[in-house]
Amino acid sequence: MELSSVLGLNSDLLRSFMLPFELKQVHSLLIKTNTPMSTLPLTRVGLVCALNPSFSYATKIFERVRKPDIDVWNSCLKIFAEGDSPQDAILLFYRLRQFGILPNDFTCSFVLKACLRLSDIINGRIMHGYVEKFGLQCNLILQNMIVHLYAVCGAMNDARLLFENMPVRDVVTWNIMISQSMKMGDVNGACDLFSQMPQRNLRSWTSIISGLVQCGKSKEAISVFMEMKKQGQSPNEVTLKEMLELGKQVKFLYICMSNIGSGILRKKPQNKTSLDIHTCCFESLGQHAMDQHFQVPNSLNLQNHKTEGCKRGARP
């Protein structure tokens, strides 16, 4: 039977109900017409009932369709956590606990995401406790989220303690600690972590270089940059732009770009970052030198592009 014929003039209400009262209207009509409850959009049912006295009404519907409660509530948590009201995800989590609904790793990840967006370390600590209580401490994604939350909220001691006690770490874990240590002004701590990394990716190199640049440690930034090239890691536009912030002398810019190679410069600028890089290079070394050393294609006409990045760059 067609859905429109079942619901008649109320067919739009099935997909657009916003209030518990409207949900009950649709539910009643489905019962009268002997239509399966699975016809209901269950995530919308959860969203409508999540934070009001109709919560138990929604759980009864989920039982009727034999859909695990937590799957639907996780969908609601995700929407709340990524939407305009991330605090609703935290409220919904406590409602789930109130009704004895057992969370899983997805549940905790969405609530932690909400805590991160709100920089809510109080509820973040509570979620950390639940992760331990539910035996989810081996979930590396959750552990990384908690480390990140502590670090973003300025609780670097807690972040470091958790980091050191983690049985398994990945490059994401290390990158979080390095970037957040730099943001807190702990340059030595960040460099110490970087030196201990068992494996590095481009984000690792860029984080440490960026932090050194921002802290005014030019020589150290250049040294790390050269080491990155020595180990065969090619920089991207973000890395290059960070290095150009140090380009107060033509000699340094030449060394920097010579080590990077002509790959980036041979490509047409695809965004503002790459345009800033091209323009700074051209204006710093001169069109003639760039043509000679990097074989710049004629298609790159940058004479009319004046950017903020260039204003900060070096002048010959």
What is the tens place of the pLDDT at every residue in 180-217?
999 998 999 999 999 999 999 999 999 998 888 888 88
* Count: domains in the chain: 1
Comparing 252 with 218, the larger pLDDT belongs to 218
Classify residue 260: in a domain, yes or no.
yes
Mean pLDDT (whole number) for 42-65: 92
Say whether pLDDT at 168 is over 80. Answer: yes
Say whether pLDDT at 272 is over 50. Answer: yes
Classify residue 314: in a domain, yes or no.
yes
Residue 235's pLDDT band (cuts 50, 70, 90): confident
Residue 286's pLDDT band (cuts 50, 70, 90): very low
Comparing 148 with 236, the larger pLDDT belongs to 148
Comparing 270 with 299, the larger pLDDT belongs to 270
Residue 288's pLDDT band (cuts 50, 70, 90): very low
pLDDT value, residue 121: 97
Classify residue 22: in a domain, yes or no.
no
Classify residue 114: in a domain, yes or no.
no
Classify residue 290: in a domain, yes or no.
yes
Of 25-29, 234-238, 249-253, minimum mean pLDDT range: 249-253
pLDDT value, residue 308: 41
The pTM assigned to this predicted structure is: 0.77
Let me know: does 276 contact 241? Beta carbons within 8 Å.
yes
Residue 242's pLDDT band (cuts 50, 70, 90): confident
Q: Going by C-beta distance under 8 Å and a sequence separation of 6 or more, which residues neighbour residue 310?
A: 276, 279, 280, 283
Q: Can you tell me which residue has the tokens 């009268």?
A: 32
Say whether pLDDT at 8 is over 70. Answer: no
Comparing 162 with 312, the larger pLDDT belongs to 162
Say whether pLDDT at 33 is over 50. Answer: yes
* Residue 141 structure tokens: 């994604």
Please report the DSSP string for 253-296 in residue order.
HHHHHHHH-STTTTSPP-SHHHHHHHHHHHHHH-HHHHHHHH--
Rounded mean pLDDT of the chain? 80
Distance CA 19, CA 44 (A): 10
pLDDT in tens, 54-86: 999 999 999 888 777 899 999 999 999 999 999
Mean pLDDT (whole number) for 90-101: 95
Q: Going by C-beta distance under 8 Å and a sequence separation of 6 or more, which residues neighbour residue 246?
A: 213, 218, 221, 222, 252, 256
Classify residue 240: in a domain, yes or no.
yes
Residue 256's pLDDT band (cuts 50, 70, 90): low
pLDDT value, residue 43: 93
Q: What is the DSSP letter of 249?
A: S
% of the chain with per-residue pLDDT over 90: 52
Q: What is the DSSP letter of 234?
A: P
Classify residue 285: in a domain, yes or no.
yes
Handedness of CA 279, 280, 284, 285 (dihedral sign): negative
Classify residue 278: in a domain, yes or no.
yes
Handedness of CA 164, 162, 238, 217 (dihedral sign): negative
Handedness of CA 63, 67, 72, 73 (dihedral sign): positive
Comparing 4 with 112, the larger pLDDT belongs to 112
Burial 185-194 (b: 16+ CB within 10 A, else e): ebbebbbebb
Host domain of residue 297: 234-316
H helix intervals, the chain:
3-7, 11-16, 20-32, 42-49, 55-64, 69-82, 87-98, 105-118, 121-133, 140-152, 156-165, 171-183, 187-196, 202-214, 218-230, 237-244, 250-260, 272-285, 287-294, 308-312
pLDDT value, residue 296: 42
